[in-house]
Amino acid sequence: MLAVYCGLAGGGWAGRVQADPAVKNRTYFEQRGEMIWEVATDQKVIALTFDDGPDPAETGQILDVLRKFNAKCTFFAIGKRLAEYPDIARRVAQEGHELANHTYNHVYFKPPISKKQVAEELVLTENEIVKITGRHSRLFRPPGGMYDETLVEISNTLGLKPVLWSWHQDTRDWNRPGVWNISQKVIRNARSGDIVLFHDHVYGESQTREALTIILPELAKQGYRFVTVSELIGLSETQQAKNRRNLAF
């Protein structure tokens, strides 16, 4: 990964990232398999995701709730917070959750995006993830959901699939809209293959942990399983079709 980064930062990609008049929107990137918002699957599975941690108080409280309901989730962590709270991040991994990349400094990549800045932010965070888990992550979420073709291409080259979230499953829990509003947003809109956006670090007293105590048992009663984003990708119709083709040979 560091070798790839050096090529990116040194301008080696200048001739490869070209402007294209075609519209590069969600449909374009999803069809190419270069970004994910949600997946198509006939299995009753949902991926709960948490951004901006680890947090010395909130992350642990959320982990306690997840453990109670045997829910496995994905935490998109900020690199500098991983460096500050490695023990909390280590607990995330040890309890079977997925630790993924959310940049080192929570940078909002406003287009036109700097190739060098994207590479630096991702590599620095990957270094922290490797220190904690012993391996690189597979996924990356750009803060604020901001992206362009440059960000998508560089992150994929670094082995990090950009993951956003289902548009009907943005809980806006960072704004503390109320426990009931957060929980009902998720429950009423639940669909197989959803990726739900939460935060395990917010300014002020978080309402996310309490909302989870409502969401998890209710969706479990409806037959949903809670999986990591990587597990969700593996259960997608596209991935299952690839697996069937491979078994045929």
For the annotated catalytic residues, the residue numbers are 51, 199
Q: How far apart are the first and last CA of the chain?
A: 32
Tokens read off for 192:
């197989």
With CA atoms as reference, report the closest residue to 163 among 175, 186, 147. Answer: 147
With CA atoms as reference, report the closest residue to 106 among 151, 52, 148. Answer: 52
CB 226 within 8 A of CB 71: yes
Residue corresponding to tokens 């922290």: 128
How many helices and strands, by DSSP H and E, does the chain display?
11, 7
CB 96 within 8 A of CB 116: no
Residue corresponding to tokens 């490695």: 86
- In whole angstroms, give the CA distance from residue 242 to residue 131: 33
**Cβ atoms < 10 Å from Cβ of 112:** 9
Q: Amino acid identity of 115? A: K
